[in-house]
Amino acid sequence: MNKAQLVEAIADKMGGRQQAADAVDAVLDAIVRAVVAGDRVSVTGFGSFEKVDRPARYARNPQTGERVRVKKTSVPRFRAGQGFKDLVSGSKKLPKNDIAVKKAPKGSLSGPPATIAKAVGKKAAAKKTTTAAKKAAAKKATTAKKTAAKKTTAAAAKKTTAAAKKATAASAAKKTAAKKAPAKKATAKKAPAKKSAARKTAAKKTARSK
């Protein structure tokens, strides 16, 4: 049975899969933190978890047979409780409609050890901090998107206005040019009349001199 299967096994009793997953995570996290801190976590009828220090020693490499020095280290240890041992050995039958591990005696659930309580409190605070950070990041992203959209709209509006002004100016320039063009043509037409009048005058002077 892996963690996912364990969550599924207690989901009905916890009121849902998410609640079961949170419960399993909280229990495991509290146990690990307590053992790392050097505390002993004991569950009546189930067993106990504790930290064991191993001194430096010499060991042999199983492949080469060479003697190797092993540094001092600490390891976690689990010792099964008597009730757990009896159920596994078969000296006691596993109850069908009841909890296999003995329930805690009255008065023993007055409060968890200080280390476990701190561990659970730290995890809850970490979850709240993470949730708040995610919400803040989402708000910033939304605000940035809105600002970018406004800037894009404003830039497009400016471009449209500039294009409209240029089009209006070009249209006005064309109309002005169109109005001035006929006057030039009329002037060009009047010029030959002056030349013909000058010719007539010259012809008259020639006739008189004769």
* Structural domains of the chain, ranges and CATH numbers in brackets: 3-53+72-145 (4.10.520.10)
pLDDT of amino acid 184: 47
Q: What does residue 196 show for φ and ψ, rounded to 5 degrees?
A: -65, -35
Query: In the numeric block, which tokens belong to residue 10?
Result: 């207690």
pLDDT of amino acid 183: 47
Mind listing the pLDDT tens digit for each residue in 70-90? 999 999 999 999 999 999 999
pLDDT of amino acid 130: 67
pTM for the full predicted model: 0.48
pLDDT of amino acid 168: 73
pLDDT of amino acid 142: 74
Query: In the numeric block, which tokens belong to residue 23?
Result: 């419960």
Ranges of residues in the chain with a pLDDT under 50 are: 183-191
